[in-house]
């Protein structure tokens, strides 16, 4: 996406990540068995026949997307995301932890 067609503000030093918890709490499971962390990001894995969904959801590729969000070292898809606003990594980490705690208490 070029600067002229960008839909969302670009990350900056103060707000270097997206306010996005999708890779922890959402998955887009496509008919071709591919898994995407959200509806804007391309697939990060394909579920092999006999493979458990849990294994795919804890795979290296989705963990890398989570790491990028928590550190602010975003891939191009997340950096240009039109669906989520910007935040700082510490605020996102607090939000992820709070949402996980709420699910466990739930």
Q: Which of 32, 29, 12, 30 is nearest to 79 (CA)?
A: 12
Over residues 40-91, the pLDDT tens digits come to: 999 999 999 999 889 888 999 999 999 999 999 999 999 999 999 999 999 9
The per-residue pLDDT for 4 is 52
Predicted pLDDT of residue 17: 97
The structure's pTM equals 0.88
Contact predicate 63/57, CB 8 Å: no
Q: Where are the alpha helices (DSSP H) in the chain?
A: 22-25, 53-57, 60-71, 76-79, 89-105
């Amino acid at each position: 996406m070029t600067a002229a067609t960008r839909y969302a503000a670009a990350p900056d030093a103060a707000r270097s990540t997206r306010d996005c918890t999708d890779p922890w709490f959402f998955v887009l499971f496509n008919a071709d068995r591919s898994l995407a962390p959200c509806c804007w990001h391309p697939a990060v894995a394909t579920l092999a026949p006999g493979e458990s969904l849990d294994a795919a959801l804890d795979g290296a590729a989705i963990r890398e997307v989570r790491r990028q969000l928590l550190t602010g070292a975003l891939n191009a898809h997340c950096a240009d995301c039109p669906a989520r606003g910007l935040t700082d990594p510490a605020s996102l980490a607090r939000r992820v932890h709070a949402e996980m705690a709420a699910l466990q208490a739930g």
